[in-house]
Amino acid sequence: MKQIAKIEAFELMDSRSNPTVGVRTTLSDGARGFALAPSGASTGQHEAHELRDQDNNRYGGKGVKTAVKNVTDIIAPALIKLGTVCQSAVDRTLLELDGTENKGKVGANAILATSLSVARAAAASYRMPLYRYLGGVNAQRLPTPMMNILNGGAHAANNIDIQEFMIIPAGASSFAEALRQCSEIYHALGSMLKSMGLTISVGDEGGYAPNLDSDETAIQIIVDAIEKAGYSTDEVKIALDAASSEWYENGVYHLPKRDVIYTVDEMINHWETLCRDYPIVSIEDGLAEDDWKGWTRLTERLGGQIQLVGDDLFVTNRARLKQGFEAAAGNAILVKPNQIGTLSETMEVVVMAKNRGYSAVISHRSGETEDTTIADLAVATNAGQIKTGAPCRSERVAKYNRLLVIESELRGQL
Ligand code: 2PG
Ligand code: MG
């Protein structure tokens, strides 16, 4: 039986220069797995708890020494004693060690980095690529990128309230082809912005972050960039992540950068109008995380036409997704491993969504690292969609490069 021999934890750095937890697991046969936790900016209130030191003398309170210590002092002895690398047993032990609803005791960052590093070590021990270890013979579908090329909201210091404007190369015949189309459109957008005298500096996820007149202008420029790159909006569609929980206060939506206030119904009307006027096929967090009644109405109005993705709404959590089924809220879930904390729970929520006909989009966080687990996870679960930023900034590109390698491996096998 394969056993865990050693677990080491490190305080490392993420793409926003904030500390994060890295864990290295070594098995008794010498196989090793290494994983890092990502970190969000527009985090949902119902996410698992990211444990930070709150010591203002270090990293503005964002140090993760406590989480690192929890891995070495609490998690490592228990998992070594467990005597197996079976992922469900490992993840169950992690849940028991924490014992809280939101993983606030040991910390979801400590738990996730451990959970992923054990899976990586086990895959290495079996000499399998991670997607094959996690997904078995079924793992074969490369995801379509939902690629963020223009940033706003909490991810950029510009005047745009919508957090992410994304392109979906729906007509591409392969992942490599999809990535090429997106990259060409990204470059076309950059040169258009430059010729308009606008900034081509980028936001946290690598998308451009210019100041623009309105959401409509942002979408129109993307449509123009799609065409300038030689594609049509029949082939390449648009998706938005409003991250509107950030706007919700006292039952209305206050878009802070433009200082506009919408009631719930006005907000829904706004999305409906944008979908009528532009080739938008997916809207994430069009309404706030606890606006269940609004979500039901939004889904009645737009759920038959477009994908309505719950991110802050569902937080990769089975109980929240169940609530969504009951309220007929949304028709897709964003899947972020660190919102829930363990790999097993993450994979279970994808199955649960699919069984109910909801689609699943595997996602990065705005604070990322070189860890590429989500690329393998997207293939292992056959999720069909991945959101992992612009084709710019190595922490984003690492996931795309991993998918290119997986695609060529799968081609060789099939
Ligand atoms: C989102 C994510 C990732 P953050 O809202 O979907 O794009 O952002 O990690 O800041 O929550
Ligand atoms: Mg989101």
Which pLDDT value is given to residue 1?
86
| Residue 398 token pair | 């690492």
43 CA to middle of ligand 1, Å? 7
Crossing angle for the helix pair 215-228 and 175-195, to the nearest 10 degrees: 120
Average confidence (pLDDT) over 384-400: 98
* Ligand found nearest the CA of 148: 1
pLDDT tens digits for range 279-324: 999 999 999 999 999 999 999 999 999 999 999 999 999 999 999 9
* Ligand found nearest the CA of 313: 2
pLDDT tens digits for range 111-123: 999 999 999 999 9
Q: Which of 62, 103, 336, 399 is catalytic?
A: 336
Closest CA to 375 of 413, 347, 406: 406
Rounded to whole angstroms, how far apart are CA atoms 206 and 222?
A: 15
Cβ atoms 399, 386 nearer than 8 A: yes
Atom of ligand 1 nearest to the CA of 44: 11
Q: Reply yes or no on whether the pLDDT at 414 is more than 80.
A: no
81 CA to middle of ligand 1, Å? 36
Average confidence (pLDDT) over 329-343: 98
Q: Which residues line ligand 1 (CB under 6 A)?
A: 40-43, 163-164, 205, 241, 243, 311, 334, 363-366
Rounded to whole angstroms, how far apart are CA atoms 259 and 114?
A: 42
Q: Reply yes or no on whether the pLDDT at 413 is more than 80.
A: no
Q: Which percentage of the chain shows pLDDT scores above 70?
A: 100
The alpha helices in 278-393, defined as continuous H runs, are 292-302, 318-327, 337-340, 343-355, 373-380
339 CA to middle of ligand 1, Å? 10
Cβ atoms 118, 36 nearer than 8 A: no
Q: How confident is the model at residue 63 (pLDDT cuts 50, 70, 90)?
A: very high
pTM score over 0.85: yes
Atom of ligand 1 nearest to the CA of 205: 7
Range with the lowest mean pLDDT among 30-34, 74-78, 169-173, 210-214? 210-214
Rounded to whole angstroms, how far apart are CA atoms 394 and 17?
A: 14
Range with the lowest mean pLDDT among 27-41, 204-218, 315-329? 204-218
Cβ atoms 89, 7 nearer than 8 A: no
Catalytic residue check, 205: yes
| Residue 54 zone, left/alpha/beta (φ > 0; ψ -120 to 50; rest) | left
Average confidence (pLDDT) over 71-76: 98
Q: Whose CA is nearest to atom 4 of ligand 1?
A: 40
| Residues surrounding ion ligand 2 at CB below 5 Å | 241, 284, 311
Across 14-101, the runs of DSSP E, i.e. the strands, are: 19-27, 32-36
pLDDT tens digits for range 210-264: 999 898 999 999 999 999 999 999 999 999 999 999 999 999 999 999 999 999 9
Rounded to whole angstroms, how far apart are CA atoms 183 and 201?
A: 16
Which residues have a Cβ under 8 Å from the Cβ of 363 and sit 6 or more positions away? 311, 334, 335, 336, 374, 386, 387, 388
Mean residue pLDDT across the chain: 97
Catalytic residue check, 336: yes
Average confidence (pLDDT) over 355-370: 98
| Alpha-carbon dihedral angle through residues 93, 39, 399, 133, given to the nearest 10 degrees | 0
| Alpha-carbon dihedral angle through residues 206, 207, 213, 214, given to the nearest 10 degrees | -120
